[in-house]
Structure 1
Amino acid sequence: MRILRAADHKRMPWKNGGGETVEIAVSPDDAGLAGFDWRVSMATVATDGPFSIFPGIDRTLAILDGNGMVLDIEGSAPVLLTTASDPLAFPADIPVAASLQDGAITDLNVMTRRDGLAHRLIRIDIDGGTSVPLTSPTCLLLCHRGALSFRHGEETGALSAGDALLMTDAAGTAVEIDGEARCYLVSIATP
């Protein structure tokens, strides 16, 4: 288990050079944009334009802040994503164009290498105490807004906005959470 503090997240340019991403976690550690098995990041999108192409990668996107954007994914009808929308999964190796609705947005982006991993991203609103079952070997809990305390096994700690908790060998366990927060849970496993 590792706590990943917001102040320590790595900032880097987008693959296509069109903006900046904040890398929360990546595997293997310090993998580049071409060599990761999985990656969790946030980005501020300030202009309309194409998404970076990542061959062999599956992606899920959630809108964290802002008024939303329309994704035009090749072969599909355009989709409006907002902070109220469920996260949207799509291949990262097909053309995707984004059109902002009314100003910049911040998104959460989860990517896994298709030939060996699969992932799931869900939003969890915490108001008090709750137990969150973990069904995958690798899980990451991002505290987007608010603050929370947690217990995972015998380990305890606290997360503030932007902090994340990375748990390995997590399948079949649960994380106990208390506080008021909007969180996102990433689950990564072999398919």
Structure 2
Amino acid sequence: MIHSTLLKNGQHAVSRWKNGNGMTFEIAISPEGADFSKDPFLWRISSAVCDRGGPFSSFEGYERYLTLIDGKKFNLKFTRTGHETPVEYGKVFDFSGDDGVTMELPDGPVKDLGLVYRRDAVSAGFHVLEFKSKPRSITAEGRTTFVICMRGRLHASIYPGETKFKLTPLDAIRIDCGRNEEASILLEPSGNCAACVIEIE
């Protein structure tokens, strides 16, 4: 059975970083109710407000996706190779949680959106969709799909069932499809907006 859930921005769990450099808003985690700081987990979707640069936490055995949703840009510097990658709005960057990584903020504070998932148990996709005026339709099939509003306002309709949602920034819809089930998701923008689509199976 296809099941869809609205996750409102104001309901996300909030935690301050131990180093004081930022704040994290947890959108979803599996298993549900896991304590990210101490419990084993399969995957986690979260957004962070980063006030100052600094090292990322290490996640051995995990893969990571990251994108910028507010601010000009940030740089990721990899300790082992010294390689530095700029991440700008709408660009998706993926990297290993095994890597030592430092975030640098050349243009001030930023807000990001990311996924951390265990590479030996989960496969995942992470995409940014830009809207101007035309609606777009996506398909969720046999997996868990999240649609997260990054900017502006979105109207989402889930079929079958014609369940409707209104999304503002950092609101999310979770759509769970069983094996051999398929849902169609119609996304209709109100003006200029953007969304992140995350697929997990």
Larger radius of gyration: 2
Normalised by the length of structure 1, the TM-score is 0.90
Cα distance in structure 2, aligned partners of 1:51 and 1:57: 13
Equivalence map 1:26-175=2 (5 Å) = 26-33=29-36, 34-73=39-78, 74-75=80-81, 77-84=83-90, 86-126=91-131, 127-135=133-141, 137-153=143-159, 154=161, 155-169=163-177, 172-175=182-185
**Distance apart, 1:173 and its partner CA:** 2.8
The answer to whether residue 186 in structure 2 is matched with residue 176 in structure 1 is: yes
Aligned partners of 2:158 and 2:185 also within 8 Å: yes
Aligned partners of 2:141 and 2:177 also within 8 Å: no
What letter corresponds to residue 144 of structure 1 in structure 2? M
Give the RMSD, CA atoms, in angstroms: 1.8
Query: CA offsets, 1:125-146, max 9 Å, x none?
Result: 2223221123560111001111
Aligned partners of 1:136 and 1:188 also within 8 Å: no
Cα distance in structure 2, aligned partners of 1:12 and 1:139: 24
Aligned partners of 1:15 and 1:52 also within 8 Å: no
Cα distance in structure 1, aligned partners of 2:44 and 2:26: 8
Q: Does the residue aligned with 1:115 lie in a helix, a strand or coil?
A: coil
What letter corresponds to residue 175 of structure 1 in structure 2? I
Q: Are the structure 2 counterparts of residues 151 and 56 from structure 1 closer, same or farther at C-alpha, using a change threshold of 3 Å?
A: same
Q: Are the structure 2 counterparts of residues 31 and 17 from structure 1 closer, same or farther at C-alpha, using a change threshold of 3 Å?
A: farther
Equivalent residue pairs, number? 188
Query: In the alignment, which residue of structure 2 is the partner of 1:185?
Result: 197
The gaps in structure 2 that reach 5 residues or longer are: none
Normalised by the length of structure 2, the TM-score is 0.86
What letter corresponds to residue 95 of structure 1 in structure 2? G
Cα distance in structure 1, aligned partners of 2:134 and 2:29: 30
Q: Are the structure 2 counterparts of residues 101 and 56 from structure 1 closer, same or farther at C-alpha, using a change threshold of 3 Å?
A: same
Cα distance in structure 2, aligned partners of 1:88 and 1:136: 25
Aligned partners of 1:60 and 1:110 also within 8 Å: yes
Cα distance in structure 2, aligned partners of 1:121 and 1:177: 17
The gaps in structure 1 that reach 5 residues or longer are: none
**Distance apart, 1:106 and its partner CA:** 0.5
Aligned partners of 1:69 and 1:81 also within 8 Å: yes
Structure 1 vs Structure 2: percent identity of aligned residues? Answer: 27
